[in-house]
Structure 1
Amino acid sequence: MTGYEPPTALPRALLERDDMRAAIAAHDFGAVFSLARSEAGISYSKIAAECDVKPERVGALARGQGSVTTFEKIARIADALRIPGWMLGLAPRGWEAATSSGRMPGVSERGALGDTGPVGGGVRRRELLKATGAAGLVTGLPELARPTVGRRIGQDFPDRMRKRTARLRRLDDVLGGGDTYRVYLGEYHATKALMRESSYAEETGRELFSVLAEQAQQAGWAAFDGGLHAEATSLYEASYVAAVEAGDSALSGNALAFLAYQTVSGDHHGGVEIASRSCSTAGSTAPPGVRALLYERLAWAYAVAGLATETERALSAAEEAFSEAKGTWKPDWAAWADENELRIMSGRCWAELHRPLRAVPLLEAALAQYDDTHARDKSLYLSWLADSYLNAREVEQAAAVTGRALELCDGVASVRPRKRLAPVLRRLGEHRELPAVAEVLDKARAA
């Protein structure tokens, strides 16, 4: 492909424009196509032919309908429009070394996350990160430049990538999936491309598959949190395949736990089956912290299915695993699960099973230790507390908790808090004659 210059190659001046850079960084290919036509005179039909996309699909994307998420299609667009790989979170494309348009002055090939200097056209690293929604926190995290590597990957490289993945995972502590999805998806695609285009020893390959599985899970979680359920399912399934290839049973079990968590809301029994399989896949040799996490997810699946006895049994298994976990190692992807998270999950389970006398004390005690900076998660957990207060006929207390949840989730790029609060607000609507309830309903409408 290096000797061919496609008719859809974007002019360097257009690639350097702020609006084009922002669209590329956000993987907003509809905006990219629209700018290509309006600013460079490249027709949609030419774009469709070079990108192997139906012309009507190109037009729909340009109108803001749909998105492009598969690696293969993103790579095809990069090659057709001659978009350097770093701008999309990909490894350098094969044609970049053979053409001067593959490199732009003053731009590091490490990618948006790794570029610390000024970028051509006056766009700086922070502005590119704003396009992905994660600017503020990413710029505060150290050593986020994607490690460089030659065509032969050394045995130390997977560990470096795992540490990078762990640092980026911290974005999820304070940002919603609408902000982080493109960041995590870009990481996953870049690693996938690197594995396809490089050589490495067998053991290094297994470690790379393990990193890839972690990245797919994180991208899937962000997709789920942002309401992109089909994309989440696809990424979780890809993660499971990669984890199996890596021979990492704990990570394979976690991929299934993610699938179960997504499935359970629409298919209660299907969710229970997948969650049970996640525990058996990880097995008794998994680190106790991992087993605790998977048993938590199993308890939730049982609770949503209305199985109280099984829920209590799974919560007990999680508690026992946590007691074993003290002072032991667990992977970073399971590090967020601790005893306080178990209290929250227990409270959520009992709230789901309409047991307010058990749910309220657990949720109140756990949330008292939960910092407001974790706004998305805290607002979600408050929704179950409000639900439990309603079940206990403490309507005004439910209204106060709901109002707090609404304040926390305001501006958070996640669909889940408002979705969870919707049925609570409907139930509160039955008591709109109470001033406290009327106030929170007005707040919800204003939001």
Structure 2
Amino acid sequence: MNYQPPTALPQRLLSNEEMQRALAGHDFGTVFRLARNHAGISYSRIAAACDIKPQRVGMLARGEGRITTFDKVVEIADALRIPGRMVGLAPRPWETGDAPAHPYAPEIGSTSVRRRTVLQAATSAGLAAALPALHRLPAPKHVTVSDVDQMQQRTARLRRLDDILGGGDTYRVYLGEYQSTKALLRDATFTLESRRHLVALLAEQAQQAGWAAFDGGRSADAEGLYEESRTAAREAGDSNLLGNAFAFLAYQTADRGAALEIAVSSCATITPETPAGVRALLYERLAWACAAANQPTRTEQALDTARAALDEQQDGEPQPDWAAWVDQTELDIMTGRCWTELRRPLRAVPVLTQALDRYSDHHARDKALYMSWLADAYLTAGEVEAAAAIISRALDLAAGVASVRPRQRLAPMLTQLRRHQELSTVRDVLEKAEP
């Protein structure tokens, strides 16, 4: 006899339009709220089935924080019997009949599914098996430009993982794509044109893998991938990707003087044909390097140039997918970050506050990072309690995100807060930050 866990979401609820939107966006707080309100599934049962603390389930249902790690997405999908396609996964084993039957504990569902599937998904092999985009077609023996176009579309789809997952979750995925393309360059045959396109794709994939490595705390791996990207971009004659490779290298270089020189080199790749979005990206990264080097005039000039590029952008103008994230909100955030770095809190706080109000919690890692600069600006201004409130919110957003950067950014601010433990708001934040 086939059993279903008592927490399985009923079909009528899965077909609900609001539920489908929530599942597609991994907004599990809304999923939990709808499950309770429309199917009578209590938060305590959800907490037990999904291995989440009851208090955390309630917080998520109130819109406080998000589920952002891949393994937890898989665990929730399996515990609530959510079809994989609804949350961006391949069909789950229990959908295809490949999973062995497991007894269900009446109050929590299948403990075997709940525990073992998550451990498998935490490995690179489990991740590859669960994401439909990773099911590769057989590698062609002769690569055409059309083949490369399809591979580039796949790379663009996989890039969306970075919106909700940290580099600790995505690094193996992106590295696997890069290595697959590298093997194709070694083993397949091409025309000169298709090979040039494939080398450019290799440069793009190396940058994405390098970014995930950097985000996951693998700085040496990131630098190596950025260097390989720079070499490939040069070989392909792609000045846009070459400029972005320089920008990535500058962003992670610890020597601020060297970082500024590299950032200047990135902008030197700009030509009259460079898309507006790429120009904005390279100049905002130059602005950051100038701010880190304590050069306020050059910082403002670079920010103005980036803003002018966005203002010149025409509707429908082709932009590479890897630069599509740069918009007015991102530029406002970079502006606030630069003024924070230059210790100008009166300029930083308003622009960061307004930009972050427009920034979705869906991008939990990035918003947590950006909020750290707002907290830093408040600390510079001596507004300790305001800084503590922002840090508390950033900690909530960063919880469970497989990225080292939010905690790295917040650590020195938490150290500063310890000087003010007489304030109850500060004590609460320090308690929250404890491992």
Q: TM-score, normalised by structure 2?
A: 0.72
Over 3 Å counting, the alpha-carbon distance change for 1:316 and 1:295 in structure 2 is same
Deviation at 1:132? 2.9
The change in CA–CA distance for 1:349 and 1:119 in structure 2 (over 3 A counts) is farther
Change (3 A) 1:433 1:307: same
Tell me, yes or no, if structure 1 residue 422 matches structure 2 residue 414. Answer: no
1:301 matched to which residue of 2? 289
| Cα distance in 2 for residues equivalent to 1:184 and 1:283 | 29
AA in 2 matched with 1:437: V
1:186 matched to 2:176? yes
Q: Does structure 2 conserve the Cα–Cα contact (< 8 Å) formed by 1:173 and 1:374?
A: yes
CA distance in 2 between partners of 1:150 and 1:132 (Å): 24
In the alignment, the residues of structure 1 paired with residue 322 and residue 178 of structure 2 have an alpha-carbon distance, to the nearest angstrom, of: 15
1:388 partnered with 2:377: yes
Separation in structure 1 between the aligned mates of residue 428 and residue 129 of structure 2, nearest angstrom: 34
Q: Relative to 1, partners in 2 of residues 1:262 and 1:186: Cα closer, same or farther, differing over 3 Å?
A: same
2:82 maps to what in 1? Answer: none
Greater RCO structure (CA 8 Å; 6+ sep): 2
1:3-402 equivalent positions in 2, closer than 5 A: 129-132=121-124, 135=127, 139=131, 144-263=134-253, 266-327=254-315, 328-402=317-391
Shift of residue 146 of structure 1? 2.2
Query: Which segments of 5 or more consecutive residues in structure 2 lack a partner in the other structure?
Result: 1-88, 101-112
> Are residues 345 and 408 of structure 1, via their aligned partners in 2, closer, same or farther at CA, if it must alter by over 3 Å?
same
Structure 1 residues 155 and 317, CA gap change in structure 2 (3 angstroms): same
Q: What residue identity is the alignment partner of 2:431?
A: D
Larger deviation: 278-287 or 174-183? 278-287
Q: 3-state DSSP class of the match of 1:281? A: coil
User: Cα deviation per residue 1:23-73 (whole Å; 9 max; x = unaligned)?
Assistant: xxxxxxxxxxxxxxxxxxxxxxxxxxxxxxxxxxxxxxxxxxxxxxxxxxx
Q: Secondary structure at the match of 2:326?
A: coil
Distance 1:134 1:408, change over 3 A: farther
Distance 1:272 1:134 in 2: 40
- CA distance in 1 between counterparts of 2:421 and 2:319 reads 48
1: CA distance, partners of 2:173 / 2:91? 14
The equivalent of 1:74 in structure 2 is none
The one-character-per-residue Cα deviations of 1:410-434 (angstroms, maximum 9, x if unpaired) are 1111000000001111111111111
Structure 1 residue 144: deviation in Å?
Answer: 4.8
- What's the offset of the Cα at 1:154? 2.0
Q: Encode CA deviations 1:146-170: one digit per residue, 9 max, x unaligned.
A: 2333311122111000000000000
Q: Secondary structure of 1:376's match?
A: helix
Amino acid at match of 1:386: A
1:121 to partner: Cα distance? 9.5
Partner residue of 1:432? 421
Distance 1:129 1:116, change over 3 A: same
Which runs of 5 or more residues in structure 1 are unaligned?
A: 1-112
Q: Is this contact kept in 1: 2:167–2:212, CA < 8 A?
A: yes
Give how far 1:129 is off: 4.9
CA deviation after TM superposition for structure 1 residue 119, in Å: 11
Alpha-carbon contact 2:207-2:229 (below 8 Å) kept: yes
Indicate the RMSD between aligned Cα atoms, in angstroms. 2.6
| TM superposition score normalised by structure 1 | 0.70
Find the residue that maps to 2:362 and give its secondary structure: coil
Q: Contact between 1:288 and 1:321, CA under 8 Å: does it hold in 2?
A: yes
Count of aligned pairs between the two proteins: 330
The sequence identity of aligned pairs, in percent, is: 56
Is 2:399 the partner of 1:407?
Answer: no
Aligned residue identity for 1:416: R
Helix, strand or coil: the match of 1:282?
Answer: coil
Task: Describe the shift of the 1:144–1:119 C-alpha distance in structure 2 as closer, same or farther (beyond 3 A).
Answer: farther
Q: Cα offset for 1:137?
A: 12
Structure 1 residues 126, 370: closer, same or farther in 2, change over 3 A? same
Q: Give the SS at the match of 2:268.
A: helix
Q: Partner residue of 1:56? A: none
